[in-house]
A and B are shown apart, each in its own frame.
Chain A
Amino acid sequence: MSASTEELEDQHGGRGGREGSSATDRLKASLTPPPTPGPSGPGRSPTRRRLIGGVAAVAGVVALALLPLLNVQLPGILPTATYQPGALQLMALCLLMGAAALTYHLLIGVAGLLSFGHALYVGAGAYVLGILLERTGMGLIPAMLLTLLVVVILANVTGAVALRVSGIPFAMVTLAFAQAGSVLVRRNPDGATGGEEGLSLNTEQVPAFLVGVSNTRNLYWLSLAVLIIVFAIVSWIQNSRAGHLAEAVRENENRVRVLGLKPYLAKLLIFVVGGTLAGCVGMVHLLLQSGAVPRTVSADFTITLLVMVVLGGVGSRWGAVVGGVLYTLLDQRLTVLAQSEAIQSMPALLRVPLSEPLFLLGTLFVLVVLFMPGGLAGFVRRLSARSGSGRPGKDPVTVLEQAE
């Protein structure tokens, strides 16, 4: 158990070809994130550690919750002081993207499902809610509940079909479903989705405290609540029987079958929960951004989620959150930076690449994959192992994961 990162490297370090297994198996094998020692041996980790982790987590949440009331300036990172709408809007988006990345972590990190269609459920949450508010005159809460129902059904139907296959075919079926959704949204049937322009939020039915720039901090708190709830549910699912089963399936599907368990249902449950939570994130995203844009349904957005999770470290919950936050922050700040005097006055050879945030993020991503296996979580894990503080089963990842 002490060698979780080493195991990861070992798995990949094979020289000269693997077993004569199929390509999909190989993909699945290399998808496997480092085994997290958490759930399998909770008794071994002292409760004191848990307590410290728990206190740290609560302190972190409290600090985040207090930010809108404080005057914290982080020049270069946040556009304004933390109590002002500019910073709050950005921080709320960061939290939401952290939550979105977490829902994707449930698929890729827990169940080893490489979906290229996860954006479909985020988009469905945003668009269905937007359309209901626009067209039906329903109140926000009933509309949200109905949207939730729609997303659950959508995730069930698409998941049930897609999970008939696995590996790359699974990735392709999910991609295709999301593509269908994306085409539908862009096609703007009956003027419902607003096509390329997107759909703007009809605020008539939205309670006043969630509308307008002056209420951004309420949206911020809402986003924080979403992140916490998503984290709690993801943790709960991951430590549930279904979560263990899905993890076991990821490691060795045949063995699970031999035990007479049904991997399909466990995977479907994870897929549906992931999709549903993504839909919730989508709904709040609609409120926060006062609208929905076709990008939220696109393959690009799913890839963004993938990038976030990989940056943070596949298999790590807090890694996914940090990856989501970091990516969103970088994306926003690099865009601002691109407009800056310093960059605009550079010669074209530097100016052109530096003013493309996605170029910088893509390059960063490639570098992380090449030189930082396991992403940020893997980096932290190695760091703690090197400094000697990482006694078996007590690295910060474990502590954090067990605590939160």
Chain B
Amino acid sequence: MSNLRTPLFQWHVDHKARMVPFGGWEMPVQYAGIGPEHKAVRSAAGLFDISHMARVSLGGPAALALLERIFTNSVATMKDGQVRYGLVCEDDGGILDDVLVYRWPDGFAAVINASNREKILTWIESQSDGLYAEVRDQTLDTTMIAVQGPKSVELVAGMFADDVSGLKYYYATPSRYKDKPCVVSRTGYTGEDGFEVIVPNALGVALWEEFIAKGVVPCGLGSRDTLRLEAAMPLYGHELNETIDPIHAGLSWAVKFDKGDFIGKAAIQKATADTTKPVRVGLEIEGKRAAREGCAITDADNAQVGTVTSGSLCPWLDKSLAMGYVNPQFASVGSALDIDVRGTKLPATVVPLPFYKRKK
């Protein structure tokens, strides 16, 4: 199967992006370099083509009940325009995906990981017994662009029919861009303030180039990954998968046991009392060498007590940082461990998450 291309594909190629396959799409991994792109987002603003993320609308009278059934966070308590993070889990509590749900006056939308698009669409259909919702996959009809960084608010000024600068964090609004309908949300995956904008495909390049003309730095998936790692945001397929439950992933805040029944509730509730399974931690490594996914985490007796799920030298903090799962007795902050990188033991310490938190 050949990879899909976003409406910005040609722009990326023309601007010397290095393209890689990712989640069924051909995406830019970097333009000028991961380091400078990462620093641009922390210090000013960067621009990301995130059209590969799946965008799905859910309508009809049963949409709310269906979402409450498949989503760990509360949907009924959301206000119009609000955006909420949560998990889609199996009966056994294993995570199928982490998604954002948007609430509109007339329905809902969800943003799903690119690699999980078909899995989640199939899951929604298979779990909709008695709760018919009109589910429409709008991924291929729209372009999604993220502008991230402290300058984002001033950059969006005047770009849309509505003033979006007053949008609260994790809220979205419908607006118009060049007289066509769009959606602007104050969301992101970098640890910075910023906006994510969905426009019809025909306006994708125009929106992108308007930001570029204002000096926003184009960024690829490489810096997106180092930014989210520095901000300790989990990435599906690395920190999250079908064998990991939300509690041990450190995402209990995105699970609402008091909202009524939902798929996986009993298993996740049971997981809250399970003190034997490995939990997600942050690790700071001595020196500049990076720990990589799959590296063994060992204790003073050289016994494996965990595994790295993501790791890199992080450009802004200029530290070698990693996330991983370790047995609970080694998970407290200050715990001194080693990470086995190709036979070399790198000393590492468990540190609080997130590694990086922006100043408000």
Does chain A bind chain B?
no
